Amino acid sequence: MSSPEAAPGDDTAEVVERYRCHVNAGLASLFKFMGFDAVEWKAEGSTIWDTEGRDYLDLLAGFGTLALGHRPAAVVAGVRDQLDRMPLSSRVLFNKPVSDLAARLAAILPGDIAKSFFCNSGTEAIEGALKLARLYTGRPGVVATEGGFHGKTLGALSVSGREVYRQPFAPLVPGVTHVPFGDTDALAAAVGDSTAAVVLEPIQGEGGVIVPPDEYLPAAREICDRAGALLIADEVQTGLGRTGALFACDHSGVVPDIICLAKALGGGVMPLGAFSSTPTIWACLEENPLLHSSTLGGNPLACAAGLAAIEEITRNGLPARAARLGDHALDRLRDLQAAHGDMITDLRGRGLLIGVQFRDADVAGLVIAGLAQRRVIAAYTLNNPEVIRIEPALTIPEADLDRGISALADSVEQTKGLLAQLD
């Protein structure tokens, strides 16, 4: 595929140099190391074009943000309509996109979750959820999971589970205990009468795409109920169809007390996050409605995007499509693993959240670089660099998904050859 139009302006070297001097020199080196030495310019669906007119197949979808692909027409139209009338809110008058989105979410969220607070990112959604749990229960403690990823603001980082990101910022928020993900006994032992909440991802994304045993979420629900603690489901990455159900909690029928969304919620056009809960729990935020607030969170542009995104995801049956394409991808990847068991040590996933576990992080890095050479965009999971994620748009054409998996197979072969030369 060639670029629909040429890109004007700076050449790649100038942009990289400005990143080095004015953004973050380490980030510039990291992009280059992974083989992504190009400047993005334009995108449509699962294709990105760089400033030199080269096309890339996107198997990463902005770390799961682009559930509808790049520039989905219905979301762009909804945002454009709002842009032409009123992009940002007065913050004192009632705002229709906020009310519409909150009501639409209430209709699709599990159980009797019916009230939402809108913010701009996943980490802010987690901050709000943690504050709400403390406020409602009057307790300080939080139990979180090893390998869990919840964001990088101080509260969300405190409940995340990878030391390399946590340790430089210690001391973090007190009262947090981490337990192994998927281990019901460890969870039961850690939750007590000072626990405000258990926070977990129904399927860990950045931890390396870890699907817990079927009984784990129902057990977590029971443990929380017994202790009077709240269950916070972090569905920032899994929410809105990614795992083959509208919410990953739906696979087990578990209804959390608080649910966090972001990424796909903005339709791949606007930054948008939310935390939502039941009217009973929410009441503690209503006595003083300014106890938790955000000037820019839930702005009309973002809410217009959210409304259009939910409409597109539900109307087009994208959760079911993700389930079907995910099964297909896993079948093909199983063949690849069978052929290269010395390189690929495990395969995990549900829907279009798939993790390919390599024998070490260096091998995974070389495979990503090989994909970059083939102009296929992929990345490792942040809390487990041995795992390459296959996380495309839920709308990716099946032929493109197949092309991406073939490129992965070629890159694994190439990496094997490289390693053999080094032996």
User: Site residues (CB under 6 A) for ligand PLP?
Assistant: 63, 121-123, 126, 149-151, 201, 205-206, 234, 236-237, 262
Smallest distance from ligand PLP to CB 277, Å: 17
Strand-pair partners of 379: 389
Nearer residue to ligand PLP within complex by CB, 205 or 306:
205
Rounded to 5 degrees, φ, ψ at 96 are -65, -45
Smallest distance from ligand PLP to CB 373, Å: 26
Nearer residue to ligand PLP within complex by CB, 79 or 126:
126
Smallest distance from ligand PLP to CB 148, Å: 8
Instruction: Report the residue number whose CB is nearest to ligand PLP.
Output: 122
Smallest distance from ligand PLP to CB 355, Å: 13
Nearer residue to ligand PLP within complex by CB, 352 or 412:
352
Nearer residue to ligand PLP within complex by CB, 305 or 407:
305
Smallest distance from ligand PLP to CB 208, Å: 12
Nearer residue to ligand PLP within complex by CB, 234 or 386:
234
Nearer residue to ligand PLP within complex by CB, 123 or 137:
123
Smallest distance from ligand PLP to CB 189, Å: 24
Q: Which residue has the tokens 């993005």?
A: 40
Structure tokens at 32: 């280059």
Strand-pair partners of 260: 234, 275
Nearer residue to ligand PLP within complex by CB, 16 or 233:
233
Spatial distance between the Cα atoms of 348 and 333, rounded to a whole number of angstroms: 10
Structure tokens at 146: 């090893």
Nearer residue to ligand PLP within complex by CB, 221 or 242:
242
Which amino acid type is present at position 15? V
HEC letters along the chain: CCCCCCCCCCCHHHHHHHHHHHHCHHHHHHHHHCCCCCCEEEEEECEEEECCCCEEEECCHHHHCCCCCECCHHHHHHHHHHHHHCCCCCCCCCCHHHHHHHHHHHHHCCCCCCEEEEECCHHHHHHHHHHHHHHHHCCCEEEEECCCCCCCCHHHHHHCCCHHHHHHHCCCCCCEEEECCCCHHHHHHHCCCCEEEEEECCCECCCCCECCCCCHHHHHHHHHHHHCCEEEEECCCCCCCCCCCCCHHHHCCCCCCEEEECHHHHCCCCCCEEEEECHHHHHHHCCCCCCCCCCCCCCHHHHHHHHHHHHHHHHCCHHHHHHHHHHHHHHHHHHHHHHCCCCEEEEEEECCEEEEEECCHHHHHHHHHHHHHCCEECEEECCEEEEEEECCCCCCCHHHHHHHHHHHHHHHHHHHHHHHHHC
Inter-residue contact 386 to 393 (CB < 8 Å): no
Chain centroid to CA 218: how far? 23
Nearer residue to ligand PLP within complex by CB, 298 or 370:
298
Nearer residue to ligand PLP within complex by CB, 233 or 255:
233
Smallest distance from ligand PLP to CB 151, Å: 3
Smallest distance from ligand PLP to CB 35, Å: 22
Burial (0-12, 13-18, 19+ Cβ within 10 Å), 31: middle
Smallest distance from ligand PLP to CB 86, Å: 25
Nearer residue to ligand PLP within complex by CB, 156 or 376:
156
Smallest distance from ligand PLP to CB 152, Å: 7
Smallest distance from ligand PLP to CB 12, Å: 26
